[in-house]
Amino acid sequence: MVVLTEFNKKPLLFQNPIALISTHNPIYLKGCFVEMERVLKEGYYLAGFLSYEAGYAFEEQLQDNREYDFPLVCMGVYAAPTSNPLQGVAPAELTRLHLNTSQDIYSSHISKIRNHIAAGNVYQITYCIKLLFDFCGSPYGLYRRLLREQSVPYPAYIETDAFQILSLSPEKFIHKRHGSIVTEPMKGTWPRAAAPLADLLERVRFGRDKKNRAENIMIADLLRNDLGRIGCRISAPRLCKITGYRTLYQMTSVVTARLRQDIPLLSLFSALFPSGSVTGAPKIRAMEIIRSLEQEERRIYTGAIGYICPNKDLFFDIPIRTLLI
């Protein structure tokens, strides 16, 4: 497995793993974390991903103990990364793009979500559908082309014998360093305008929009609660921060905490994964509703991609705007 992370424009390339730690069955997920702890103590790095469905295994009332088609966790064990990018960029083509649902089913699901909110079962649901396509050419070539089209802060590329993951993500999941952890939940999207003055006006409107601000603050509160389960000195130094991309604006908040440097990885991910920004609030009830409505497993989408250092510093994105080939 090859893993390339380019978070904050600092590429780290992980190649030629000495082992893979992976499972398709929730029963063995905790065992994978035990093995991850063992190899870190031996001085190795870990790089790879967790699928969204791994989140069910972290909550007792969500566990289903069935074999999944796609890995719930897949982490390569590496001696060390390099800062060299992958070589070779060939053309690629996507054709026959189509959704995995119909307008009638989509509308029915949105109606059910509104009913849940009206009944007080949840405050918010992050409902997802998929865009399917036919593909030919170079997955890495497509990744580089998409990254040139719209630069994002947390891109990553993963290649295995069975699949490739092209993550053009603007969202940070967790960055832990020397006992401090930062998460930046993203809620809120707004179109940009072509003319500079009109674009500035759209940014101001976005920053004042009650719906987007309410969603963003709601999820920041959820992340503060999740971090409070494992850390101390919880803080939200910045709420509703607006970042501009080529075609749109995004709203994020910054939530921080202090953790024990040696906190068990299982405790960390059990408390925080998946991010509330990709489920809704409250998280467990939102995940139950999502599982009842969405027609397919999310797999890598809205899971986590990243790496863990031997001292247990780590950095993961949330793979949104992500292709699985």
Which active-site residues does the annotation give? 171, 187
pLDDT recorded at residue 126: 95
Q: Can you give the pTM of this predicted structure?
A: 0.96
CB contact at 8 A, 51 and 69: no
Nearest to 71 by CA among 273, 324, 321, 323: 324
CB contact at 8 A, 240 and 276: no
Give mean pLDDT in consecutive 10-residue pieces for the chain, a chain of 325 residues. 96 97 96 98 98 94 90 98 82 94 97 97 95 96 92 96 97 96 96 96 97 95 96 96 94 96 95 96 96 95 98 97 97
pLDDT recorded at residue 218: 94
Separation in Å, CA 244 to CA 191, 250, 251, 304: 10, 7, 9, 23
pLDDT recorded at residue 42: 98
Buried b (16+ CB within 10 A) or exposed e, 189-207: ebebeeeeeeeeebbeebb
Per DSSP, helices labelled H in the chain are: 29-41, 54-57, 103-118, 139-149, 196-208, 210-228, 265-272, 283-293
Buried b (16+ CB within 10 A) or exposed e, 86-120: eeeeeebeeeeeeeebeeeeeeebeeebeebeeee
Dihedral over Cα of 97, 100, 105, 106: its sign = negative
